[in-house]
Amino acid sequence: MELKRRARYLYLRLIRLKDDPKELALGMAIGVFVGILPVVPFQTIVAITLALFLKTSKVTAAAGTWISNPLNWYFVYRWDYKLGCLVLGFSEKNAAISSILSVVKSAQDPLFIACRIMESGIMIISAFLAGGIIAGFIAAVPTYVISLHFFKIIRKWKGLGKHIKNTD
């Protein structure tokens, strides 16, 4: 029950944001982009920093990083690595990667996961980052379009409610 209540609270916080729908959608897209990157546990910090730099919504940027969570890290990181290896022409077969993915799969502490990746060497780090950047852009584009539509609907709905209240 607590999870349902928390989700409702977060939903209500999102629809009450007053920024321009484009800023909100761009913030969400930035958050999703960063959420796909292998930068756990620093995703929120990176997303908010990018939002500050791009002068967009920090709240939706932070919320967008929630696309990545301990339930899907294994799949996201595996996809990032495979995509990065494909693009960079590296072999996917590496003893270090199976060690990293087993740490991710066992839901270890995010800082421990980040340390394991950093210890793995430049080739694996490059594959993770290249794949993460590409996958992040692939996820961010539809996120922007969907979020923009969502926030425009919310804005219109809020405006309609004000109009109805003012005519009473």
Spatial separation of the C-alpha atoms in residues 101 and 75, rounded to whole Å: 9
Per-residue pLDDT tens over the stretch 120-146: 888 889 999 999 999 999 999 999 999
Whether residue 112 contacts residue 70, with contact meaning beta carbons closer than 8 Å, is answered with no
**pTM, rounded to two decimals:** 0.81
CA distances from 140 to 19, 21, 80 (A): 19, 16, 15
Question: Cβ of 19: how many Cβ atoms within 10 Å?
Answer: 17
Per-residue pLDDT tens over the stretch 14-52: 777 778 899 999 999 999 999 999 888 889 999 999 999
Rounded to the nearest angstrom, the gap between the alpha carbon of residue 74 and the centroid of all alpha carbons in its chain is: 15
Q: Domain ranges in the chain?
A: 23-167
3-class DSSP assignment, residue 10: helix
Write down the H helix ranges in 89-121: 95-105, 110-119
Mean pLDDT of 53-57: 94
3-class DSSP assignment, residue 56: coil
Cα atoms found within 13 Å of the Cα of residue 71, Cβ hemisphere only: 2
Question: Cβ of 112: how many Cβ atoms within 10 Å?
Answer: 14
Q: How confident is the model at residue 163 (pLDDT cuts 50, 70, 90)?
A: very low
Per-residue pLDDT tens over the stretch 67-96: 887 778 888 888 999 999 999 998 888 777
Say what the pLDDT of residue 1 is.
59
Q: How confident is the model at residue 162 (pLDDT cuts 50, 70, 90)?
A: low
Residue 166 has pLDDT above 60, yes or no: no
Rounded to the nearest angstrom, the gap between the alpha carbon of residue 110 and the centroid of all alpha carbons in its chain is: 15
Mean pLDDT of 94-121: 82
